[in-house]
């Protein structure tokens, strides 16, 4: 049985707009890097369909980089996206990451779930902190999209 950890937040935006923020490269590059890390638009490959490839490069403030890869497994707009994600392209198929978007009175409940795999408790805590930073920046993307 797969053991997932989750991050759940309420976003004050329609579910279709949240799904767009998650799946459009021009928005993804903003939130995936967060305010501290650059994700160059030209490094992104986002073929958002079942079997489609995902690739991104994170340029870290210390000069290092992380190469990400994955594959979209389920794309069911605007309610669900399932993909694999790895920071070891070529060596690792990646772990399942699920994005579930539920329409609620306040907007959209976004739940991000990831397979714990062999992560230590410290790695889980760091990944949860990273996902929370992602969602903080998704909120900023949504605020800009809604002000247009």
List per-residue pLDDT tens for the chain, 148 residues long.
Answer: 579 999 999 999 999 999 999 999 999 999 998 788 999 999 999 999 999 999 999 999 999 999 999 999 999 999 999 999 998 877 767 899 999 999 999 999 999 999 999 999 999 999 999 999 999 999 999 999 999 7
Return the pLDDT at 1.
59
CATH code for residues 4-147: 3.30.530.20
Identify the sign of the CA torsion 139, 36, 46, 70: negative
pTM above 0.85, yes or no: yes
Question: What are the boundaries of each domain within the chain?
Answer: 4-147
């Amino acid at each position: 049985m797969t053991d997932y950890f989750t991050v759940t937040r309420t976003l004050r935006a329609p579910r279709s707009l949240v799904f767009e923020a998650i799946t459009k490269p021009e928005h993804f590059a903003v939130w995936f890097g967060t305010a501290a890390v650059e994700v160059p638009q030209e490094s992104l490959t986002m073929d958002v369909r079942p079997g489609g490839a995902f690739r991104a490069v994170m340029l870290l403030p210390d000069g290092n980089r992380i190469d990400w890869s994955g594959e979209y497994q389920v794309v069911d707009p605007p309610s669900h996206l399932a993909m694999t994600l790895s920071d070891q392209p070529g060596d690792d198929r990646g772990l399942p990451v699920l994005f579930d978007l539920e329409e609620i009175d306040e907007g959209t409940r976004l739940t991000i779930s990831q397979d714990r795999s062999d992560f230590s408790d410290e790695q889980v805590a760091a990944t949860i902190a990273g996902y929370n930073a992602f969602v903080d920046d998704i909120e900023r993307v949504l605020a800009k999209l809604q002000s247009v």
